[in-house]
Structure 1
Amino acid sequence: MESRAAASRLRAAGLLAQHADHREIQAWTYETEAWRALTAGDYVRAFSSNVCSISRNFRM
C-alpha cells in the first residue's frame, strides 16, 4: 500500500513539474523512480527511467 501511495505522489510531482516547466523537479522524479526500480531489483526499468530523464532534461 505504501509503495502505491509513494508512486502516486511521485507521478503527481512529475505532472506538476511538467506543467510548471520545472526541469530540475522533473529530473528528480525520474531519478527517484529509477532508484525505486533499482532497489526493487527491476534493473531494466531503472535504466529506462534514467535514459528518459537524460533525454528529456538535457536537450541540446
Structure 2
Amino acid sequence: MEFNQLESFISVVKHNSFSLAAKELYTTQPTVSNNIKNLEKELNTTLLDRTSKTITLTDSG
C-alpha cells in the first residue's frame, strides 16, 4: 500500500469525483483511477461502487 493510493481514495471520497480529486492532487484522472484500482487489488476488496453518474462507498470503503 502506498501513500498516493490512500491520498487518491480520500480525495475521491471527499469530492465524489475522480476528476476533481485529480485536480486537487495535481495529477491526471487515469492516475487517480489506477491508484484506487491498485489499492482495491492489494486489499482484495471493492472500496467504491462506480456508475457513470455516481460514486458511492461500499461497506469495505
TM-score by length of structure 1 reads 0.39
Higher share in helix:
1
TM-score by length of structure 2 reads 0.39
